[in-house]
Structure 1
Amino acid sequence: MDQDKLISPKRHRRVTAQDVADAAGVSRSAVSRAFTEGAYLDEEKRQRVRAAALDLGYRPNALAAGLQGGRSHLVAIFVGDMRNAYDTEVVTRLVGALNAIQKWPILIDGGGLSSVKEAMGEVLRYPLDALILRSGSMDPAIARECTKLHIPVISSGRVLYHPQIDNVCCRNQEGSQAAAQLLLDRGRVRFGYIAGPAGYSSSSARQDGMTRALAAAGLTPVAVEQGDFTVEGGLAAAERLFERARLDALLCANDAMAIGALGAARARGIDVPNDLSIVGFDDISMARWPGINLTTVCNPIDIYADKVVELLAARLADPEKPSDVAYIDTHLVLRGTH
C-alpha cells in the first residue's frame, strides 16, 4: 500500500470508513464490501482496505452492518426490579444465552424509574430485534404497543395472551402447593405467608397454591404480610408476622424474603426448623450457602432463561408463527429449614 496515502485522523475522533477509504485509495462502498462476507470486491483492493483499517485502528460498525441486513441484533431486557436476586441471576443467564446467538442486550431496570411507559418510549427509539419483559407487574399495554411496531415480545414470568407474544412462566401455583403440602405432611398447621409487591402475578399464584393446599386440609392461613422481594423486606414482614401470630410454618413468595425471615426468626430465638419451618421459592445461589441452607422450590434459572431465548430465536425465524406459552416445571429442594 502507498504509505503516502495513509492519513492520521484527528485526535480524539473515531476512525471512520471514509478515513479508511481515503487511506486505501478506494471508495467508501469498497470499504463496506471489504468487511461484508460474500460481497464482491477485487482481492487486491480488499487487502489494501484491510491493511489501511489495521494501520488506522478501524473497526466496522456492527450496528450499521446489521441494519443493512434488516437486523440490529439488539434485544432489550426490561426487568421490574433488579433488587430481586432471582431476576439478577436470570438476567445473567439471559445475557450469555443471547450472546451465544449473536444478540446484544440493552438492560432496563424498572425499579428506579418514575415512569415505565416513558422509559419504554425511549427504548423503542432504538432499532430493536426484540423485547424481553421480565416483570410480573408490567402493564400489558406496553407489550401490545411493541407488537404494533412489529417488535417481537417474549414475556417472562407472566402470561400475556396476545397472538404475537410468546410467554415463559414457571408453574408457580403447583410449586407453592407442593411446598405447603410438604409442611402439612410434617404436621404444621399454623401457616403464615410473605407475599411480594401488589400486582405481581407470580406472588399471587404462589399464595393461591398455598391456600389451595391448606383448604384441602381444612385450614386457612393464620396471617399474611406483604414484602418487596428483598432480604430486608422479608425481614421486616416477618417481624410484623411474629408480632401478630404464633406460627409453625412460613412460606415466602421468593428466597430473598425467606432468607430475611430466617434472620428475623433467629434474632428472636425461634428454632428453625424445630419450632418454625420456612420455605422459599426460586432456589437462588444464596439459598445454598451453608449458613442459610434454605429449603425452597426450585424455579430452574438455566432452563428458564434458555427457553426464553429459544422462543425468541423461533419468533425471529418465523414472525407469523402462532404464539407459544412454555411452562417450566418446579421441584422441591429439601435443605435445613423445613
Structure 2
Amino acid sequence: MKRAALLLGSLLMVGAMAQAEDTVVATPLVDQQVTAFKPTGYVDLQYRIYGKTENAENAENDWNNGTNKTSRLQLLGSITMTPNQSLEYRVREYNSLTSEPLGKNAKKNETRLRYFYKHGNIGDTNIGLTSRVEYKDKSSYQTLQYMPRFSFKSFMPANVTKFVVAPFYEYEWNDKNNEEYKNKIGVNLETYTQLPYNFGFEFEVDTTQLFYGQDQQFNNTKNKDHQFEVAVKAILYRDVVLYAQDKTDIKLHFEGGFDKYTVDQYKQYGVSKNDRAKYTLYAEPSIQLGYSLNDSTVLYAAVGARYENWNNTAESSASTWRWQPEAWAGFKTSF
C-alpha cells in the first residue's frame, strides 16, 4: 500500500509540473512558433473486489481456492519522458476481505516496471525497433528481462494494429538467491487485429527455452536442467455501447479465450504429471460505466463475472468451470 501511495504521489507531481510547462517557444527574430516537447502520460488507480466462486470458500480443495472474497488495489500508468523514452509501471496489492488471511494459492503482490527506447526504423526499411527492459517483483521471486521488439505493422493490412516479433533474454531468481534460478531465452509473436462489428482479436505465441539452476523432476523421467515450452494466447474482445450522452457512457464489455494454452517438452501437468499441455479458458462479461470529469480525467466503475476452469488446467482433464463475481472502480487522469 505504501509503495503504491509513494509512486502515485511522485507521478502526480510529475504530471502537475508537465502541465505547468509552456508548450510553445516563441522566436523573437522569426515570425514562427516551435513546439517544445513536454512529458505526457497517464495515471490509473483502481480498486477491485473478487467475490465468492460458485460452491467455494477459501479451503485448499475448493474452487479457485485462496482468491475468494479478496480485493486488489492497482496503480497503473505510463510517462513519456523524451520523444524516444518512456516508462510504464504497474503495482498490485492483494488483501483478504474476511478475517482469514489470504490462501496459499492466492494471487501475489506484484510490481512491474518497463522501460522503452524507440530506435526508429532499421536502416531504409519500414521495420521499427524498440528496446524494452522489464523488472518484475512478485513477492517470492524477481525477474529481469531484455527484449528488442521489431514491429512489422507497416507490412500488414490497416486493421492489424500490432504485429511485433520480439526475441528476449530473462533471468529469474528467488528471494533466497540460491540455486533455484532460471535462465530463459525465446521469441514472442504479438498481434492485435480489429475485426468487423467492433470485435478485436489478440493473438500471441511465446516460445521459451528454460535452463534451471537446480534440476527439475518431470513425470517419471530423469531429472532435467532444461525445458522448452510454447504458450499461445488467443482472446476475443467486443464492446457494445448501451448509452452515451454528454459526459456519461455505459457499455457492455466482453472478453474471453485462451490465456494461455501451454505445451511443454516434458510432461509435468495433471495429478500424475502425465500431460505435456495445460490451458486456462475463460469468459468475462461486464457492464462498465464511465464519466468524464474534465478533459483529462475519467471516473469509472464496473460489475461483471469471470467463468474459468479455475483449479484443473491439465489438457486431458480440464474442468472445474465456475463463475466468480467481481466489481471495480477507479479513475484515469492524463497529462
- Bin of the TM-score, shorter chain as denominator length: under 0.3
Which structure exhibits the higher relative contact order, with contacts defined as CA atoms closer than 8 Å and separated by 6 or more residues? Answer: 1
Over alpha carbons, which structure has the higher Rg?
1
Give the TM-score, by structure 2 length. 0.22
Higher helix share: 1
Give the TM-score, by structure 1 length. 0.22
